[in-house]
Structure 1
Amino acid sequence: MSTIAVPQPANDPLGYAFAVAGAVLFSTKGIFIKLAYGQGVSTEMLLSLRMIVALPVYLVILLTLLRREDSLRAALTPKTVIASMAVGILGYYLSSYLDFLGLNYITAQYERLVLFTYPFFVLLFGVWFFGDRMVWRVVPAMLVSYAGLLVIFGWNLAVNPDGLVLGTLLVLGSAITFALYQHLAKRQMLVLGSALFTCIGMSTAALCAIAQNMVLAGPASYLALTPQIWLYGLALGLLGTVLPSFLMNAGMARIGARATSSTAAFGPVVTIIIAVIVLSEPFTLFHGVGTALVLAGSVLFARAERRARQAPG
């Protein structure tokens, strides 16, 4: 869960393999959600199943960290713990819940592309609320990506408009809340470290998701689930949550955060391929053009922001 302090070569093939594998597995999340929705499972139930699978893993890691490192135990003041829990709820519960809700209305491939724009909101929030300098050269890249989303949105609006606006706004809300989470989480990680903060945040979010479903549907609702729905929940928790988080961190430890982020573009591409094959979602010329614009804008954004960071002053 934590990165290695010793510098590693950026051209490490194994590091890139870990990062790519993590991005690919993360991209399966929307597929499993859509498959489970096809079985009639509710959003709240599915989110709770994901967290039921993930929670024991993060609790074990949390207890292991606290048992091995005295400095981490000393850092756990009431203020720090409460702040980490609140930030975890924002990023792992609220953001995920909005994303899950949005997938009731839009396709898995479109959802992934909307989420893929969250770095733009990271930049804007940094400027508006956290004193970062505005990088104006990234604005054209942002416009390119949103032009791509507009192409796909327009096609969907003409062909299947039901719930499209609501679904887009929900997933956009997920991207916005996750961007805000990134800023707040960074500050908590400086105090607790990434591993301990992630375990506290994820565990708290998991308890919120499970409690929500308990209140809405009751404990007996789990007994009524079919083995297939449990299988989707298991896949969502392990393949779409826990395993890719470890792979991404392993890749980051070997090649660094910047190189790891460059592999993120594999996610939308894999989602599109699987969605077309498994879910029989359409992929037209409009989807191709829109996807190309979103990915191109994201690449241009990353390059412009990197140049701005390297520029003197």
Structure 2
Amino acid sequence: MSKTVADLPVVPTTRPAALGGLAIAIGGAVLFSTKAIVAKLLYRYHIDAVTLIAFRMLFSLPVFAAVAVWKMRTEPPLAVRDRWRLAGLGLIGYYLSSYLDFLGLQYISVGLERLILFLTPTFVLLITALVFKRRIGRAEWIALALSYCGIVLVFAHDLKGGGGNTVTGSLLVLGSAACYAAYLLGTGEMVRRIGSLRLVAYAMCVSSAACIAQFFILRPASMLVQPLPVYGLSLVNGIFCTIFPVFMTMAAVQRIGATTASQAGMIGPVSTLFLGWALLGEPITTVQLAGTGLVLGGIYLLSKKKTP
């Protein structure tokens, strides 16, 4: 989500304020990554991805709807073309991407899931090269090679224990990363015209409507009745793993810039790896750490090519 706030002006800050911005960025990255942990805990109650994502959006929708209504009342209405484009971006970036991600989490470890999602900037680079004929430089090729070598290393390690499930889950999460990359490319020009807060609020409302509608089409309403822990974990998923990271990332970008905030977000895969070990009992091996290091190194090289 941090890419949608690159239009926000960076406010000159003192060193303590800059450190505060860095702390906010790290906190947002950790909270956003924690959604994988929460999803794994929810799956223990035998709910599926359709139900999980519906509950997530039910708890987060009121906040995003409130922001959307506020923006509708205080800013000029969107052009019809922008409304349709924003609806499409919301369906791709927050509905389809999230749905594929949660589907994939049923089959793979949270560590591998987070690393695959962290490849989103590489998908953006590859799409711009293929579609917009942008030349990929030598440093970017090195970054891509490092990132994908890291993924292959962790994937091969997990494949020994997961077999076909690891392949299925990895492909679903790869689809999620590709969808979000398409969303980021689609929002590039629009976010400068209508603002990141307005865009995210509207897109999340579209996504929420799609997720909730999908639930009522595919599942009986009786599935809304769940054990109490499901409601508690879904509340955490909706508020602490969705709402908070969005606004924390925006605040961080305003303080320290998009590039620094993006680099701080690299703590996400590392935190997921250790949270998976602490809360889910997923092992941490030397191979996983090596693969994580390669992916982070590659994404760091890519982030250095960007401007704040």
Q: Distance in 2 between matches of 1:288 and 1:45?
A: 33
**How far apart are residue 258 of structure 1 and its match?**
1.1
**TM-score of the pair, normalised by structure 2:** 0.93
Deviation at 1:6, TM superposition (A): 6.1
Partners of 2:56 and 2:134 in 1: how far apart? 35
Paired with 2:89 and 2:148, the residues of 1 have a C-alpha distance of: 28
In 1, Cα distance between equivalents of 2:246 and 2:103: 22
1:69-97: CA deviation from partner (whole Å, max 9, x where unpaired): 3xx32xx1222111101111100000111
CA deviations 1:123-173 (Å, max 9, x no partner) are 111222235443332111211121111111112222331411111111011
| Equivalent of residue 37 in structure 2, options 31, 37, 58 | 31
Give runs of aligned pairs for residues 218-237 of structure 1, distance below 5 A. 218-223=220-225, 225-237=226-238
What SS is found at the alignment partner of 2:106?
A: coil
Q: How does 1:142-161 map to 2 (within 5 A)?
A: 142-161=144-163
* TM-score between both structures, scaled by the size of structure 1: 0.91
1:50 aligns with 2:51: no
Per the alignment, residue 84 of structure 1 pairs with: 86
Indicate the residue corresponding to 2:13 in structure 1: 9
Q: Hey, what does 1:103 align to over in structure 2?
A: 105
Unaligned ranges ≥5, structure 2: none
RMSD of equivalent CA atoms:
1.9
Pick closer, same or farther for the CA change 1:10–1:143 going to 2, 3 Å.
farther
How do 1:285-304 and structure 2 match up within 5 A? 285-303=286-304
Match of 1:40 in 2: 46
Distance 1:273 1:184, change over 3 A: same
State the SS of the aligned residue for 1:163.
Answer: helix
Shift of 1:40: 0.5
Q: Determine the C-alpha separation between the residues in 2 that align with 1:166 and 1:10.
A: 48
Aligned-residue identity in percent: 34
Cα deviation for residue 32 of structure 1 reads: 0.2
Aligned residues: 302
Pick which of 102-111 and 139-148 moved more.
Answer: 139-148
CA contact (8 A) 1:10 1:254 kept: no
Cα distance between partner residues in 1 of 2:10 and 2:187 = 23
| Contact 1:4-1:254 within 8 A present in 2 as well | no
The residue that corresponds to 1:176 in the other structure is: 178
Alignment of 1:186-225 (within 5 A): 186-223=188-225, 225=226
